[in-house]
């Protein structure tokens, strides 16, 4: 009868046993055994909580000079003030300001596809049309471009907020009223929320306008944000 080995029993085969069975170098065997013993320790600190932080959803602002802080420091513009308000209220969003001075609805439509692909925004704020109106473009052109931008945004899975605007009175009541109505018509047809007049309480106050009479001053920017916020705020949780 074979006698059991004296001393404690180990679950690891000895280097001698491996040498006899496999003909491997003892140092290699010891290295393999050491690796097996260390693997649990190497993974001990990894837990389910060691996951990458969540990427905050994106608010994409697609606008013209009114959102690009024309004539101002960029930090004083209403879009930058929006970023500050979001942080103050603990709302984790990343704001991408894709506004370009002088842009039109046609330009925004051209740029939107790449912006949607690059940033995958959960919410797109469209602030375009002022330069179309200042050029006296037809309402159908403006309406079609705005509608196509909204549809592309929806197709990409983004929620949309549209902002309207009132032109200076020197364009005549017929055109200024028809221009502002375009935004209401598009918002209703596409079922998107609307800021009726981005510059409400600003454009009619010359103390809040720059010398050109078209662009708001730095002092006007908080008021512009206050015009946007009541319509934007309800969308924030639903777009996350």
Active site residues: 65, 212, 215
Q: Which residues contact 203 (CB under 8 A, 6 or more apart)?
A: 166, 168, 209, 216
End-to-end CA distance of the chain: 74
Q: Count other C-beta atoms under 10 Å from residue 125's C-beta.
A: 27
Nearby residues of 176 by Cβ (< 8 Å), 6 or more positions away: 166, 167, 168, 169
DSSP string over 125-149: EEE--HHHHHTT--HHHHHHHHHHH
CA-based torsion, 190, 192, 193, 195: positive or negative: negative
Query: How many residues comprise the chain?
Result: 240
What is the rounded CA–CA span in Å between residue 49 and residue 140?
A: 53
Give the residue among 198, 221, 229 at the shortest CA–CA distance from 77. 221
């Amino acid at each position: 009868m074979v006698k059991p080995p004296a001393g404690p029993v180990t679950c690891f085969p000895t280097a001698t046993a491996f040498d006899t069975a496999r003909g491997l170098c003892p140092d290699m065997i010891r290295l393999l055994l050491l690796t097996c013993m260390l693997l649990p320790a190497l993974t001990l600190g990894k837990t389910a909580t060691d996951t990458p932080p969540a990427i905050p959803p994106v608010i994409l602002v697609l606008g013209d000079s009114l959102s690009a802080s024309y004539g101002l420091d960029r930090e004083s513009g209403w879009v930058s003030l929006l970023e500050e308000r979001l942080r103050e209220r603990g709302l984790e969003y990343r704001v991408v300001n894709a506004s370009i001075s002088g842009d039109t609805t046609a330009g925004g439509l051209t740029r939107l596809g790449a912006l949607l692909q690059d940033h995958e925004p959960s919410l797109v704020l469209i602030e375009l049309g002022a330069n179309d109106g200042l050029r006296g473009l037809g309402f159908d052109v403006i309406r079609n471009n705005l509608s196509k931008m909204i549809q592309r945004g929806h197709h990409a899975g983004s929620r949309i907020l549209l902002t309207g605007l009132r032109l200076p009175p020197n364009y005549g009541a017929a055109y200024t009223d028809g221009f502002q109505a375009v935004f209401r018509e598009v918002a209703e047809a596409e079922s998107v929320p609307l800021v009726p007049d981005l510059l409400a309480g600003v454009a009619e106050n010359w103390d809040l306008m720059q010398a050109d009479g078209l662009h708001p001053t730095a002092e006007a920017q908080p008021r512009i944000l206050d015009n946007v916020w009541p319509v934007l705020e309800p969308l924030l949780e639903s777009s996350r």
